[in-house]
Amino acid sequence: AVGITYAITDDFSVGYNVSTSDLGGATVDQEATGISASYTSGGVTVAGMINDVENVAFTDADDTEGYEFNISFAF
């Protein structure tokens, strides 16, 4: 697995992650990628991510995606 996050400014950052899982008896590897971003201004943070996983159960037929969007407030 490898990931990198870069702070573009003090308020805005983006990230990219990739991983591969190898199950000894499986014919295919599980591969996952993800992209994320966040913006913070004062006490408010807006963030989101998109993840894609191929061969979830180590078979060619199982692919899935996930999305998340967050807004958080600090008082």
Place of tokens 């992209």: 35
Say if residues 47 and 39 touch (Cβ distance below 8 Å). yes
pLDDT reported for residue 31: 95
As a whole number of angstroms, the distance between CA 26 and CA 21 comes to 10
Average pLDDT of the chain is: 94
Q: Give the per-residue pLDDT at 22.
A: 92
Predicted model pTM = 0.81
How many other CB atoms are there within 10 angstroms of residue 52's CB atom? 13
The 10s digit of each residue's pLDDT in 42-69 is 999 999 999 999 998 888 888 999 999 9
Query: How is residue 10 annotated by DSSP?
Result: S
- Indicate the DSSP class of residue 21: E
